Amino acid sequence: MATLRDIRNRIKGVQSTQKITKAMKMVAAAKLRRAQDSIINARPFTRKLKEMLKHLVTDHDRESNPFLNERDVKKVLVVVVSAERGLCGAFNTNIIKEASSLYAALIKDGKEPSLYCVGKKGYDFFRKRNYNMTGFKTGVFNGLKYDTALQLSKLFIEGYLSGQFDQIVVVYNEFKSVVSQKVVRETYLPVPVIEASQKGIHEEVDYIYEPGQKAIFERLLSIDLRAQVWRILLESNASEFGSRMTAMENATNNARDLIKALKLKYNKERQAAITKEILEIVSGANALKG
């Protein structure tokens, strides 16, 4: 049976763990707010860009633009966006599960999948299990920069244009709200069909295009490809903090319950010990009297 001292030590241990989880929760909450702001700041750009692309797209682009043109898919690049660190609930597990099931499904279909890991957790997992990996990038989420998105998108686009991959799919956590994140698969390249807007203003207005409609469309599309990587990184980043905050909140609550239970047990033991002592004294005194 646990002695009083043992219980006391355990209470102390749980209390210090609780302090840590509480602090981690606070940090995650603060960082989450900043990550959310970044997402909100990025939204107007994506919206306007999509609008302009819809106005500009022509049937000719759909056939001739290499980013829009679908090829026979053989080599597929799966980009896995995970976190740098653990202790964020099921965040990494969900991503890894989704990515490996996609990988297995692609092999079953006779495709040649390879992985590109963003974030240390996913990289560690897949490296140890000898998955076919074309590259990885870690340390991305310690101070997220737009430059990172530029580098990554450049890498993907070059790989796609050179024929190294026929299709690029990104698996990442989408930020729904603080308490809910959803793992999504998204085709990055080829770009999913852009519907031309119905009788947009661009047909009524006689624009001057400099240097030409096609060049502008291509420029916007390449900006869009970069901005998409940026958005995905932001979403994943915010999801990670949301997930960590929830996980740490749960841990803190569990620690509180545990401390409560331990304190109850401790007090029971203490009272039992006192009662026992009194009994011994009383019976000793009685024995002397008798």
The nearest distance, CB 237 to other proteins, in angstroms, is 13
Choice among 32, 35, 88, 170 that is catalytic: 88
The interface region with other proteins, picked from 21-29, 102-110, 226-234, 270-278 by CB under 8 A, is 226-234
Residues sharing a CB contact under 8 Å with residue 228, sequence separation 6 or more, in sequence order: 46, 153, 188
> Alpha carbon 116 to chain centroid distance?
15
Residues sharing a CB contact under 8 Å with residue 215, sequence separation 6 or more, in sequence order: 209
Q: Which residue, 11 or 216, has its beta carbon nearer to other proteins?
A: 216
Supply 159's token pair. 């790989």
The interface region with other proteins, picked from 142-150, 159-167, 192-200, 274-282 by CB under 8 A, is 142-150
Which residue from 2, 23, 104, 150 is in contact with other proteins, where contact means CB under 8 A?
Answer: 150
Task: For the beta carbon of residue 82, count every other beta carbon within 10 angstroms.
Answer: 31
The interface region with other proteins, picked from 35-43, 60-68, 182-190, 271-279 by CB under 8 A, is 35-43
Which residue from 5, 110, 143, 205 is in contact with other proteins, where contact means CB under 8 A?
Answer: 205
Is residue 185 a contact point for other proteins (CB under 8 A)?
no
Residue 88 is among the residues annotated as catalytic for this protein: yes
The interface region with other proteins, picked from 19-27, 120-128, 186-194, 200-208 by CB under 8 A, is 200-208
Strand order in the sheet with 112-118: 133-137, 112-118, 75-81, 167-175, 181-189
Residues sharing a CB contact under 8 Å with residue 24, sequence separation 6 or more, in sequence order: 87, 244, 248
Is residue 216 a contact point for other proteins (CB under 8 A)?
yes
Which residue from 38, 134, 164, 254 is in contact with other proteins, where contact means CB under 8 A?
Answer: 38
- Single out the residue of 247, 165, 195 nearest to residue 59, CA to CA: 195
Say how far apart CA 192 and CA 180 lie, in whole Å. Answer: 26
The nearest distance, CB 32 to other proteins, in angstroms, is 18
Q: Which residue, 44 or 143, has its beta carbon nearer to other proteins?
A: 44
Range 56-85, binding other proteins (CB under 8 A)? 56
Supply 209's token pair. 């295009």
Task: For the beta carbon of residue 106, count every other beta carbon within 10 angstroms.
Answer: 19
Backbone angles phi, psi at 233, to 5 degrees: -60, -40
The sign of the dihedral angle between the CA atoms of 49, 119, 140, 150 is negative
- Residues marked as catalytic: 88
**Site residues (vs other proteins, CB under 8 A):** 38, 41-42, 44-46, 48-49, 52, 56, 146, 149-150, 154, 201, 205-211, 213, 215-216, 219-220, 223, 226-227, 230-231
